[in-house]
Structure 1
Amino acid sequence: MAPLRTAAVAVLLQWMLQYTAGRDVFLPAGPLYRVAGFSLTLPCAVVDYQGSRTQEFEWMHYREDANGKQINVVSTRDPGFSYAVFQGRVSSGEVRVERDSGDKARLVVQRLRPEDQGKYECYTPSTDVTYKGNYSTTVAVKVIPDTLQISYTRVLTGQPILEGAELKLTCSAGIQSQVHTHLSLTFGKRGGSGGEVISLGRALAVSPGSSQSYRKRYDDGELTLEKRSGATGPDTFVMRLRALQPEDSGAYFCEAVQWILDPDGTWQKIAERTLDIGNLTVRRLSESMSVTSTPIGRVSLQAGSPLTLTCHVAGLPGGRTSGLLVQWLKRGSLIGDAPAPGAGGGVEVEVARMSPDGAVSWGDDLSRGTGGALEKVAEGSYALRLFSARPSDSGVYHCVVNVYAGRKSPAPSAPSTFTQRSEGVSVNLKTKEVLVSAVAQLRRGPLLKRGCTVTLFCNVTVTTTGPAQVQVRWLRRPIPEPVVIVNGDRSSPTPTLPDEGTPGPLAILTHEGLAQVFTNGSDVSVDRVSAVGYRLRVHSASLEDQGLYVCQAEVWGQDPHGGWYNTQAKAESAVVTVYLYSRATDLLLIPLVVGVSSALFVGIVIISAVTCCFLKRLSRQRSQAEK
């Protein structure tokens, strides 16, 4: 009984569906407001139909001024369906039907006319077995005047703009619509990495273009869009693109779009106008910027004279939009009229730098902070001044400029846009003739023993004009191992300082009379004992203080301003060998140690022999007792 009841219910439902369901046609809910001169698109869909999956569509228009009279517009099955008022527009394709699928099609009116206002009907001829349902539907369309206005205040002429400069584009746009509409505005670029640059949406939200570059520059504040409301006329939109890059070259345009919210809750673009602003060409800084230095070529000065080197930067965009890091670097040195060994080679060191915010810092020679200056003397000119040049200031100088295009205050870790350096300026500081010699010797006396004070003298002779001071440095190296003589059986120590390696410094007596001691284990002192004599004393000398000693003398001269400078005149003494002998008390310990060691050895031997014999005898007695 139950299966029969189930079958009856199924037949009843099928009958109800067959006789109650039917064809239905859908158009967007109206009324729809569209702008004259722009396109109208009406999508039409049919559902719950029978027959072929490809349905036909016919469109009719009912003008408000024609008392509801039907005017055939276009049909998918009948080429002659259109009335005369639409026939020419249909033939030219201005009015047409575009299929999305077999049961979906769109009526497209490319350019609306005021007389196109009215009701539009979408009708689908029946392919059903029985005539049921709705075969057409209508929607009201309102055609409003075109009031979208757009203009610009500056045209790009294509003249090159330097990399790092700022681009400012201004576009004015507005609408005076009878109905509530919204306006969006977009600045875009064609060519290269073209597309949207930045836009103000219909909800007044600013958004950069889809490219990663525009998004990053927007986040960094380099790309902005500002809206300035007009009091009585259109609004003004200002786009700023700071720090132009070569890839910003292209043809720029401004696009304004009018939007409306349809009754179905979707936003529709009802008017659009694009205005070409012109072409932009961004020229690379490397093609225009130049860095030079003065004086040119070679500069020769007497030691103690002031030295001024000026760095000139040209070819940068105006308006001070770019930050500069200016450095003066020096390589090598010059002595007299000839390059010193290694001049022009070796490591290039920084003398001074000026950061983009104007802060000046000095390189390794911090004393230059009081004896020199780096300053901006004019726009694009930076002067390095040494008030009293020293011989150590000789060398080849280069001005290096790092440009941060469009960034006045870059972050310390930010990479520069471009770096350029000037030609080298050779600076030769001539010094007065200085002759210097140094002789080191041990103080005469008994043999040196451990625990005594070792005294060495260094006699320095200086021949020059004007005031001079001497700085004496003492160095020591361990006594090398004896070297075997190939042509004999003897071996002899080498009493000269080997070339390889660097002797360890012991102490310095500076030209100012200050003592500096570098050794940790030994008690060392240095002093000046006469006009030409300098003394080194090693107190309570130990075996570690043995070695090969030399003294080095450097001559310092005085410049006209009273400052002291190293004349680069040096001399080194011959090697003095310091060997420490054992003390008498140490010699007395030798026989004592030998005697004690011998007695201990003899005692051990006797005890071992006695013990061995006693154990053997005890073993024999035990064996006899067991028998």
Structure 2
Amino acid sequence: MRTMMASMKAAFFLFLHWVLQHALCRHVAVPAGPLYRVAGFPLSLPCAVSGYEGSRTQDFEWFLFRDDAAGRQMGVVSTRDKGFPYAPFQARVTSGEVRVERDSGDKVRLIIQRLRPDDQGKYECYTPSTDSSYQGNYSATVAVKVIPDTLQISYSRSLTGQPVSEGASLTLTCSASIQSEQLTHLSITFGKRGGAEGSPSGAGEEVSTVREIISIDKLLGVVPGRFYKKRYDDGEITLEKRNGEGGQGVYVMKMTAVQPDDSGSYFCEASQWILDPNRSWQKIAQRTLDIGNLTVQQLAESLRVTSSPTGEVTLQIGSPLILTCEILGLPPEVNSGLLVQWMKRGSTSSDSVGAGGVEVEVAQMTPNGIVSWGDDLSRASGGSMEKAAEGKYSLKLFSAQPADSGVYRCVVSVYAGRRNPGQSVPATLTQRSEGVTVNLKTKDVLVTAVAQLPRGPLLKRGSTVTLICNTTVTTTGPAQVQVHWLRWAIPEPVIKKAPDTVMLKPPAPPEPKLIASLMYNGVSNIYINHSEISIDRLSVNSYRLRVHMATKDDQGMYACHAEAWGQDPHGGWYRTGAKAESNAVNVYLYARAADLLLIPLVVGVSSALFVGIVIIAAVTCCFMKRLARQRARK
């Protein structure tokens, strides 16, 4: 048994020694070949060593076995011996055209900046030993085939550098081809070089930035640049390949609308790719062709929006109001969409025309010619907005009213190069015209209102509450009054507890509630549902509100608000802006007789029940105590 265990231990140690020996064996690795590279372009050959002993920074030596040298070895470059290169490489190593670059201590690359046809052959990467024993492989070889340069690139038209209007279209054409016996792919990239602020030198110089706009990659897919992806997704940048003469591919890039930051120097880049034996794509040739400079003239430098008439306009009520908006400085060669809006600020209710208030939209015309009206939709039947000519838009109100007073401005949003932009597309530029102040001559109107509660028996819950609003209008010409009834609830006092006292805090002013309205045209509107309410006109200047079957919720302070309406020469009614608020009338509802009789009945029944419960409890308690004493005596 002991002999068997000893044999097993010996076998285990032998196996462990063999594993350690092989794990520590030196191994040199280079890519699998053959590698096809193009004459005149760089060659980069990686070489790595592992399983070595000694320093972590290993030395490397490169040899070349030329195909036409009958297998003779030729020293190329070494990391430890400056005199290592053979004569054909000595000058190239000295100039840096042939060199070794380290990725790490045990990984390097042989770089030949410009391959020559006679550089073809088998390259050997050798690592001098730093190991205590000679184990493993100390070199590896890879075959490199140098193929002729057949990559061609050209363009049909260069950019002249003349300014191009913002929003104009841009088309760039680049032709490229390769003629190779090997299976290689061609990629095309359109890009731009431009200046950027923030020079690291701090001298105020411009730093050249290169941006890829769009490419057809080595797998023949269209790929937009990082800064141009959204414009590509929106269809504003495209790239297509066409078949040209002599087997050349013609690549056409289009921008539907150039932007100011599109200014710069444009280029076209063609690259030749090959799939290496390790299944990785390698760029083996590349040519870049400058197409020219593009300067984009910004729309803000030329666009101007005006409105007419200018200054101040005074009209009689009922007269037509005509305003014109003109857009100047739009480049004729740019097909742009326009959103034209008429905005108004202020009205006759302001202390001075246009002095304040929120600016509201009167009407607008979208780029596709659809007209819509702002908050006052009734104006759609009393006005129009039209495109009078190219760059001219008119707003017409057939019968101007006092509410139409204010400061009008034309607001134009330009979508440069986008005739029908989507809703999510922002405008290229928005400009506003100077304001046109419109005044309407109104009649002198004075209106008053008095609310009263007619005398009669005390108001009780369930009875009808009647309120009268008497108005007076002083003006010339026809006039009507529009009456609104409002109610304020009676607030409950707020009890505020102090450390030693209890204080009654005055309640906050309640908000009024609109109860009912009688419009100038006789239409009545009721705004609450829990009560039965009616409103009518008793005479020319007297209006009545009735609350039927009133409840506790109908209590409060009531007031009427009167608003005068006038009639224009065309028979249309308009707000004169004259208003009046009446006094407040308190409405309190008393309890009915039946409710008063119910109170003593409820109190009496409650008292009787309470007295009976007390008597029964007392008798029961005394009886139980007496019974307990009798049992104790026994």
Same fold (TM over 0.5): yes
Aligned counterparts of 1:525 and 1:477: Cα–Cα separation in 2: 18
User: In structure 1, which of residues 217, 239, 258 is the aligned counterpart of residue 253 of structure 2?
Assistant: 239
Taking a change above 3 Å as real, the CA distance of residues 256 and 263 of structure 1, as seen in their structure-2 partners, is same
Matched, 1:230 2:244: yes
Deviation at 1:236, TM superposition (A): 1.4
Deviation at 1:513, TM superposition (A): 1.4
User: What residue in structure 2 maps to residue 516 of structure 1?
Assistant: 525
Deviation at 1:275, TM superposition (A): 0.8
Aligned counterparts of 2:604 and 2:46: Cα–Cα separation in 1: 125
How many percent identity over aligned positions? Answer: 49
Q: Equivalent residues in 2 for 1:62-461 (5 A)?
A: 63=68, 74=76, 76=78, 77=81, 79=83, 82=86, 86=88, 90=92, 93=95, 96-98=98-100, 100=102, 106=110, 108=112, 110=114, 112=116, 116=118, 119=121, 139=143, 141-144=145-148, 146-161=149-164, 164-191=167-194, 192=196, 194-209=210-225, 211=226, 213-261=227-275, 266-282=280-296, 289-314=303-328, 323-334=337-348, 339-340=350-351, 343-402=354-413, 412=423, 418-438=429-449, 446-447=456-457, 449-450=459-460, 455-461=466-472
Aligned counterparts of 2:187 and 2:541: Cα–Cα separation in 1: 90
The farther-off stretch of 521-530 and 219-228 is 521-530
TM-score, reference length from structure 1:
0.72
Taking a change above 3 Å as real, the CA distance of residues 597 and 387 of structure 1, as seen in their structure-2 partners, is closer
SS of 2:153's partner is: strand
Taking a change above 3 Å as real, the CA distance of residues 561 and 194 of structure 1, as seen in their structure-2 partners, is farther
SS of 1:333's partner is: coil
Taking a change above 3 Å as real, the CA distance of residues 155 and 348 of structure 1, as seen in their structure-2 partners, is same
The farther-off stretch of 224-233 and 519-528 is 519-528
Aligned counterparts of 1:295 and 1:505: Cα–Cα separation in 2: 42
Please report the RMSD computed on the Cα atoms of aligned residues, expressed in angstroms: 5.6
Deviation at 1:242, TM superposition (A): 4.7
Structure 2 counterpart of 1:168, one-letter code: T
Structure 2 portions without partners, runs of 5+: 197-208, 493-507
Aligned counterparts of 2:549 and 2:280: Cα–Cα separation in 1: 100
Structure 1 portions without partners, runs of 5+: 482-498
Provide Cα deviations, 1:214-249, integer angstroms capped at 9, x if missing partner.
334434434332111214352211223455455444
Provide Cα deviations, 1:434-480, integer angstroms capped at 9, x if missing partner.
3444555566x754554665555545444544443332334455689
The farther-off stretch of 416-425 and 499-508 is 499-508
SS of 1:516's partner is: strand
Taking a change above 3 Å as real, the CA distance of residues 89 and 313 of structure 1, as seen in their structure-2 partners, is farther
Deviation at 1:577, TM superposition (A): 6.2
Aligned counterparts of 2:608 and 2:62: Cα–Cα separation in 1: 133
**Structure 1 contact 23–46 (Cα < 8 Å) conserved:** yes
**Structure 1 contact 194–250 (Cα < 8 Å) conserved:** no
Aligned counterparts of 1:312 and 1:355: Cα–Cα separation in 2: 16
Taking a change above 3 Å as real, the CA distance of residues 392 and 347 of structure 1, as seen in their structure-2 partners, is same
Provide Cα deviations, 1:457-514, integer angstroms capped at 9, x if missing partner.
5454445444433323344556899xxxxxxxxxxxxxxxxx9766544432222111
Aligned counterparts of 2:475 and 2:526: Cα–Cα separation in 1: 29
Matched, 1:29 2:22: no
Taking a change above 3 Å as real, the CA distance of residues 564 and 61 of structure 1, as seen in their structure-2 partners, is same
Provide Cα deviations, 1:284-311, integer angstroms capped at 9, x if missing partner.
5555544443333322222222223344
Provide Cα deviations, 1:41-84, integer angstroms capped at 9, x if missing partner.
566789999999535444464549xxx5979685545749655x
The farther-off stretch of 21-30 and 185-194 is 21-30
The farther-off stretch of 508-517 and 374-383 is 374-383
Task: Choose 1 or 2 for highest CA Rg.
Answer: 1
Taking a change above 3 Å as real, the CA distance of residues 61 and 600 of structure 1, as seen in their structure-2 partners, is closer
SS of 1:151's partner is: strand
Structure 2 counterpart of 1:173, one-letter code: A
Taking a change above 3 Å as real, the CA distance of residues 111 and 372 of structure 1, as seen in their structure-2 partners, is same
Provide Cα deviations, 1:547-585, integer angstroms capped at 9, x if missing partner.
6554443332233443221122334555566677888xx
SS of 1:232's partner is: helix
Deviation at 1:204, TM superposition (A): 1.0
Deviation at 1:346, TM superposition (A): 3.2
**Structure 2 contact 64–121 (Cα < 8 Å) conserved:** no
User: What residue in structure 2 maps to residue 494 of structure 1?
Assistant: none
Provide Cα deviations, 1:334-388, integer angstroms capped at 9, x if missing partner.
36xxx53695323333333444554443333221232233444444444333222
User: What residue in structure 2 maps to residue 54 of structure 1?
Assistant: 59
Deviation at 1:274, TM superposition (A): 0.6
Taking a change above 3 Å as real, the CA distance of residues 82 and 575 of structure 1, as seen in their structure-2 partners, is closer
